[in-house]
Amino acid sequence: MNWLTNFARPKVKAFFSKRNTPDNLWVNCTNCGSMVFHRDLIAQQFVCPSCQFHMRIGPTERFKAIFDGGLYETFDLPDVLPDPLKFKDEKKYADRIKESRSKTSQTDAVVSATGTLDGLGIVMAVQNFKFMGGSLGMAAGEALIRSAEVAIQKRAPFILFTAAGGARMQEGILSLMQMPRTTIAVQILHEAKLPYIVVLTDPTTGGVTASYAMLGDVQIAEPGALIGFAGPRVIEQTIREKLPEGFQRSEYLLEHGMLDMVVHRHDLRKTLSHITHLLMDRSPGKSDTPPRALDPGAHKIPSGVDRNNLQADHSIDSEISKEEEQRARLAGQTP
Amino acid sequence: MHVFLDFETQIADLEGKIEELRQVAAQDPAMNIGEELGKLETKAAAQLRDTYAKLTPWQKTQVARHPVRPHFTDYVGQLVEDFTPLAGDRSFGEDKAIIAGLGRFEGRSIAVIGHEKGADTQSRLEHNFGMARPEGYRKAARIMALADRFCLPVVALVDTTGAYPGRGAEERGQAEAIARSTEMCLSLGVPLVSVIIGEGGSGGAVALAAANRVLMLEHSVYSVISPEGCASILWRDSERAKDAAAAMKITAQDLLGLKVIDQIIPEPVGGAHRDPARAIADTGAAIHQALQEMEGWTGQALRQDRRVKFLEIGRAGLV
Ligand SMILES: [Zn+2]
């Protein structure tokens, strides 16, 4: 399937139809109620200018806000068996999927793209809460695994924006199995020594938080995002008391040591750029080399993929060709 | 006294009659009840066998939660010698919803970890009904790391409704603790065998079940959310738990079909609680066999095996 063509067309249409409707020129802030001109809201990345409330946004807005020049390329994600359990509650799962697809023009909850961030090649994935609550099913699981693989292939950091109510119940145990499966995706990034940066957005709960969303090398959250394992309603029912103000919000998690930072949406690009550039700026021999005294083989060139070239030029293509060059060189040296 | 489930009324009737007859006969030794008793016993046994041969997913959930179903402590008591429990997560506290320790199983040292629901009011409260807090998962991860360092296989017995949804648990990072425990399972360089002995509830179960071999007892259940939870969200009515249990495919038989688990351990007729010693012995034999299959595997091979196993789930062979 050609993702780009299928993705782009309905989006453009939707945009124009909105522009033609005067009702949509003004948007009500769901937090403070103030009226914001739609065009201003776009310029503000959907942060309310009056109260700084961060509205939920989707993959397109994220990609445009983070990648250099708003330029990026989405890549194909694996097809999965649709509706493996033939699940039906009050509605058929197959119908719920169809609805979400037409609403978002996405195949499933996760969209992934490559691009650059201040010149550094980046792989980015965004979970869209509008697609069945961003829920983690087989498609989202495969999407994250594929994204990690692409990051490794391109030797690029992986940035993930999470937003989900949790696992997708309609896929039963197969959705639960995405918890270990996505954890494997994180592990292969760790092994490749590539940064895995998580940006938690409103809301991130359930099995998503209890797997890949809490395993980032650096954990960032947008202000005021609901982040937790159990939902606040379930907790209130269990402990039979009212939860304190701000419970399970980003700032609360930061205070409890669960996050590295809470970052305003307008500062996210700069922060992500700093972190990824700092983590990728490794001088030769810094990593993987135990002290000589402890390892008699330390003077040998470490086997496996070489990481010494990463700080020079960060564009993805040159990275790949450099790595190939390096591999060929290493191969030539091996007796 | 035996606890009967709501679908066991006919069995309860028959067994009640048998009991009555025995009591009457005990009062009057001259009475000949042999023939009548034999008939009733045959009937009761047939009824029990038939009922348990076709339990619905919701009935299996009830059996999996049966108050006298054998729990972690029963398994360890029968299968593990020199069991030495180890406490604490080294950062906040000791959570008795998960028990972890060292012991000897079939002649070899192992680490054993599992949820304990408790067997009476006092112990249920002590073990928080098997619903662990972050400390439980951090202790589990700590003991797994210990096992890894000393090359001891790990056996995990899963039996939880789910991780505890409480205020303190959230504050101390319930989600992160579960994620780390799952990650630890997947990074172990020693064999990890997990057995769902009762309820495998959501992330709180996965945290101990990202294993090389995942086995389930015949009437245990394993699901992404409890049937009640699923019903209250999707049907907006927790009374629809029966429908949710069926729709989610939570039984050992369903999960074997979906290739999510490796093996089903048959239970005694009428469920593990009718003959705990046999259920536990059969479970021990299955664990032993699984460990033997992985005898001599390198750490790398074991990690790879786990990785391939989980990555394959859902990718092929689902019809
Ligand atoms: Zn506002």
Contact A272, A197 (CB under 8 A): yes
Taking the CB of residue B40, how many other CB atoms lie within 10 A of it?
Answer: 18
Scan for tokens 């959310």, then name that residue.
B225
Beta carbons within 8 Å of A284's beta carbon, 6+ residues apart: A308
C-alpha to C-alpha distance for B104 and B101, rounded to whole angstroms: 10
Cβ contact B175–A88 (<8 Å): no
Q: According to the model, what pLDDT value does residue B118 have?
A: 97
Q: Who wins on pLDDT, B24 or B118?
A: B118
Q: Tell me B295's DSSP state.
A: T
Of A172, A229, A247, the CB nearest to B163: A229
- State the pLDDT at residue B319: 46
Q: How far apart are CA A305 and CA A159, in angstroms?
A: 21
Q: How far apart are CA B139 and CA B177, in angstroms?
A: 10
Chain A residues whose beta carbon lies within 8 Å of the beta carbon of residue B169: 229-230
- CA A49 to ligand 1 centroid distance, Å: 7
Alpha-carbon distance A3 to B88, whole Å? 50
**Of all helices (H) and strands (E), which one includes residue B39?**
helix B34-53
Residue of B163, B255, B307 lying closest to A184 (CB–CB): B307
How confident is residue A300, by pLDDT bands cut at 50, 70 and 90? very low
Reported as type and span, the H/E element at residue B110 is: strand B108-115
Asked whether the predicted pLDDT for residue B135 surpasses 60, the reply is yes
Q: From A271, A112, A135, select the one nearest A208 (Cα to Cα).
A: A135
Which residues lie closer than 8 Å to A5 by C-beta, 6 or more apart?
Answer: none
pLDDT of amino acid B167 = 94
As a whole number, mean pLDDT of residues B96-101 equals 98
Q: What letter does residue A1 receive in the DSSP assignment?
A: -
Residue B216 bridge partners (DSSP): B196, B264
- Sequence-ordered alpha helix ranges (H) in chain A: 3-20, 38-43, 59-66, 93-104, 138-153, 172-176, 178-191, 232-239, 250-255, 265-280, 316-333
Describe chain B by its helix, strand, coil percentages, rounded to 5. 55, 15, 30
First to last CA, chain B: 44
Please, which residues bridge with residue B215 across strands? B195, B263
For A81-110, write each residue's pLDDT tens digit: 999 999 998 899 999 999 999 999 999 999
Q: State the pLDDT at residue B30.
A: 80
Q: What is the average per-residue pLDDT within B274-285?
A: 98
Question: Per the structure block, which two tokens stand in for A124?
Answer: 């980015």
Give pLDDT, residue A3: 38
For residue B191, give the nearest of B256, B111, B252, B101 by alpha carbon: B111
Amino acid at A84: P
Give SS3 for B46: helix
Cα–ligand 1 centroid distance for A35 (angstroms): 8
A119 CA from centroid of ligand 1 (Å): 34
DSSP annotation of A169 reads: G
**pLDDT band (50, 70, 90) for residue B302:** very high
Enter the tokens of residue A327: 């591999």
Structure tokens given for B185: 């399972």
Expressed in angstroms and rounded, the spacing between residue A91 Cα and the centre of ligand 1 is 35
| Residues A93, A82 contacting (CB under 8 angstroms) | no
The tens digit of pLDDT for each residue in B43-67 reads 999 999 999 999 999 999 999 999 9
Tell me if chain B has a CB within 8 Å of the CB of A247: yes
A89 contacts in chain B (CB < 8 Å) = 234-235, 243-244, 247
pLDDT of A111-137, one tens digit each? 999 999 999 999 999 999 999 999 999
Question: Which comes out higher in pLDDT, residue A307 or B202?
Answer: B202
- Per-residue pLDDT band at B27 (split at 50, 70, 90): confident
The pLDDT tens digits of the residues spanning B156-185 come to 999 999 999 999 999 999 999 999 999 999
Asked whether residue A288 carries a pLDDT value surpassing 70, the answer given is: no
Q: What average pLDDT does the segment B102-116 reach?
A: 98
By Cβ distance, the residue of B185, B187, B258 closest to A174 is B258
Q: How far is the CA of B208 from the centre of ligand 1 (A)?
A: 43
Weakest-pLDDT range from A164-173, A276-285, B299-308: A276-285
Q: How far apart are CA A155 and CA A243, in angstroms?
A: 44
- Residue B266 is classified by DSSP as P
Rounded-to-5 percentages of helix, strand, coil across chain A:
45, 15, 40
Question: What distance in Å separates the CA atoms of residue A42 and residue B268, rounded to the nearest whole number?
Answer: 64
Task: Look at residue B24 in the predicted model and tell me its pLDDT.
Answer: 87
Map tokens 């947008």 to a residue: A222
CB B95 within 8 A of CB B133: yes
CA A293 to chain B, closest CA, distance in angstroms equals: 23
Cα separation of B218 and B228, whole Å?
21
B217 forms bridges with which residues in the sheet?
B265
Nearest to B183 among A141, A183, A258 (CB): A183
The residue type at A6: N
Average pLDDT, chain A: 84
Could you read off the pLDDT of B136-146 as tens digits, one per residue?
Answer: 999 999 999 99
Structural contact between residues B181 and B207, judged by C-beta atoms closer than 8 angstroms: yes
CA atoms within 13 A on the CB side of A11: 13
Ligand 1 centroid vs A124 CA: distance in angstroms? 28
Residue B64: phi, psi to the nearest 5? -60, -30
CA distances in angstroms from B298 to A157, B152, B189, B210, B304, listed in the order given: 30, 13, 7, 18, 10
Percent of chain B with pLDDT over 70: 99
B302 in Cβ contact with B296 (< 8 Å):
no
Q: Which residue bears the tokens 């937790």?
A: A228
Read off the DSSP letter of residue B9: H
CA distance A227 to B288: 41
SS3 for B195? strand
Residue A216, CB half-sphere, CA atoms under 13 Å: how many? 26
In chain A, what percentage of residues exceed pLDDT 70?
A: 77
Cα nearest neighbour of A191 on chain B: B187
pLDDT band at A289 (very low <50, low <70, confident <90, very high): very low
What pLDDT does A311 receive? Answer: 37
Q: Do A80 and B314 touch (CB under 8 A)?
A: yes
**Residue A37's beta-bridge partner residues?**
A26
A12: confidence class by pLDDT, cuts 50, 70, 90: very low
Average pLDDT estimate for A14-25: 51
Say which residues have a Cβ less than 8 Å from residue A331's Cβ, sequence separation at least 6: none
A57-280 carries CATH number 1.25.10.10: no
Residue B8 to chain A, least CA–CA distance (Å): 28
Give, in order, the Cα–Cα distances in Å from B126 to each of A46, B85, B96, B171, B277: 48, 16, 7, 21, 25
Taking the domains of chain A in order of start, what are their residue ranges? 22-55, 57-280
Q: Whose structure tokens read 């948007």? A: A27
pLDDT band at A238 (very low <50, low <70, confident <90, very high): confident
Q: CA separation (Å) from B100 to A286, B42, B110, B143?
A: 38, 43, 11, 7
Q: Is the pLDDT of residue A327 over 80?
A: no
Please say if the pLDDT value at position A18 is more than 80.
Answer: no
